[in-house]
């Protein structure tokens, strides 16, 4: 551990991990050290630049609270979240594809009856309906759909103190035929928060900050692999520049016009089926 130089310090750090009894932790830490040291050798940061990086991560943590997870947002915008998602969700053909959870999901949305209107009569609204089925298109009775989205302001309920808790959120249960239906507001595109480190970094490197219009879902049922996913609006100009890399072609949906509401605003309808994969029995 003496006379360390840029040539031998990496091996010294790796050797210091030799007594770690947790093999997974040892493997992860060794890989982190190798890649971090390789990054430092590649970019050769000055002490001031390294300190700026530490301050950036410190501020990222300081911006996290019960209503905002800046580290998730940073992970999303660096493409790390979608890569972890892809590694852990290698699904068979035909199963609904996953997408990022995002930093604004909160557990505990209230159960809503079938056909409930989350839009409170405002518009433009959309009636969302469909089925939850398995890979053979057989219904998944009693499947639960956890739904959340932004308001027309582009804000989620925990970002806007002027709206009720769990506004535009709800948990719906499919019937014996796997069918579900509810009404909500037609989603809008919106900018990710830019008042924190993650958003400022995007602007500094010249990347877009607007997410395409989408609606979030977690679809689950006993005996099936749950899916965390999003449905994106066809024709949205931000589909090919999503700052969190969450768009997949199979998740782009088309809203059809369906008359107008009491206030004269347009109404739409969306029919979409979610396809779940059965859980594999544990290996013996």
Take residue 170 and report the two structure tokens written for it: 């709800």
Residues 6+ apart with CB under 8 A from 20: 26, 29
Q: What is the pLDDT of residue 263?
A: 78
Q: What is the pLDDT of residue 284?
A: 64
pLDDT digits (tens, 9 = 90+) for 18-74: 999 999 999 999 999 999 999 999 999 999 999 999 999 999 999 999 889 999 999
Domain 76-276 maps to which CATH number in 3.30.930.10, 2.60.40.420, 1.10.3720.10, 2.60.130.10?
2.60.130.10
Q: What sections of the chain are H helices per DSSP?
A: 9-15, 23-43, 47-62, 70-77, 80-88, 197-204
pLDDT digits (tens, 9 = 90+) for 132-186: 999 999 999 999 999 999 999 999 999 999 999 999 999 999 999 999 999 999 9
Provide mean pLDDT across the span 89-114. Answer: 95
Contact 184/119 with Cβ under 8 angstroms?
Answer: yes
Q: What is the pLDDT of residue 283?
A: 65
Contact 109/148 with Cβ under 8 angstroms?
Answer: yes
Q: How far apart are CA 81 and CA 243, in angstroms?
A: 12
Can you state the angle between helices 47-62 and 70-77, rounded to 10 degrees? 120
Beta partners for 133?
139, 275
Q: How far apart are CA 270 and CA 250, in angstroms?
A: 15
- 3 state DSSP class of 282: coil
Residues 6+ apart with CB under 8 A from 229: 96, 97, 98, 99, 216, 217, 218, 219, 251, 274
Q: What is the pLDDT of residue 282?
A: 72
pLDDT digits (tens, 9 = 90+) for 123-147: 789 999 999 999 999 999 999 999 9
Residues 6+ apart with CB under 8 A from 265: 122, 123, 124, 125
Sequence ranges of the domains in the chain = 9-64, 76-276
Provide mean pLDDT across the span 185-203. Answer: 96
Q: Residue 94 above 80 pLDDT? A: yes
Q: How far apart are CA 19 and CA 15, in angstroms?
A: 9
């Amino acid at each position: 551990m003496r006379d360390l130089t840029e040539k031998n310090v990496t091996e010294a750090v790796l050797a210091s991990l030799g007594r770690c009894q947790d093999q997974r932790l040892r493997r992860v830490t060794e890989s982190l050290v190798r890649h971090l040291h390789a990054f430092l050798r590649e970019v050769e940061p000055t002490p001031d630049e390294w300190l700026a990086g530490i301050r950036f991560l410190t501020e990222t943590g300081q911006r996290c609270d019960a209503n905002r997870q800046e580290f998730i947002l940073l992970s999303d915008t660096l493409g790390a979240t979608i890569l972890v998602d892809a590694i852990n969700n290698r699904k068979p053909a035909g199963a609904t594809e996953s997408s990022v959870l995002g930093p604004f999901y909160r557990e505990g949305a209230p159960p809503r009856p079938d056909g409930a209107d989350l839009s409170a009569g405002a518009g433009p609204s959309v009636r969302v309906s469909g089925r939850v089925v398995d890979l053979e298109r057989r219904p998944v009775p009693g499947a639960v759909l956890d739904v959340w989205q932004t308001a027309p302001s582009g804000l989620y309920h925990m970002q806007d103190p002027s709206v009720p808790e769990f506004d535009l959120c709800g948990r719906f249960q499919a019937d014996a035929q796997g069918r579900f239906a509810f009404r909500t507001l037609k989603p809008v595109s919106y900018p990710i928060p830019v008042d924190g480190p993650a958003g400022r970094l995007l602007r500094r490197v010249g990347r877009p900050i607007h997410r395409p219009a989408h609606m979030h879902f977690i679809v689950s049922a006993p005996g099936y692999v749950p899916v965390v996913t999003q449905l994106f609006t066809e024709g949205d100009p931000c589909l090919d520049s999503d700052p969190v890399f969450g768009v997949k072609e199979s998740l782009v949906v088309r809203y059809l016009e369906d008359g107008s509401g009491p206030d004269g605003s347009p109404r739409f309808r969306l029919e979409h089926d979610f396809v779940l994969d059965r859980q594999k029995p544990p290996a013996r």
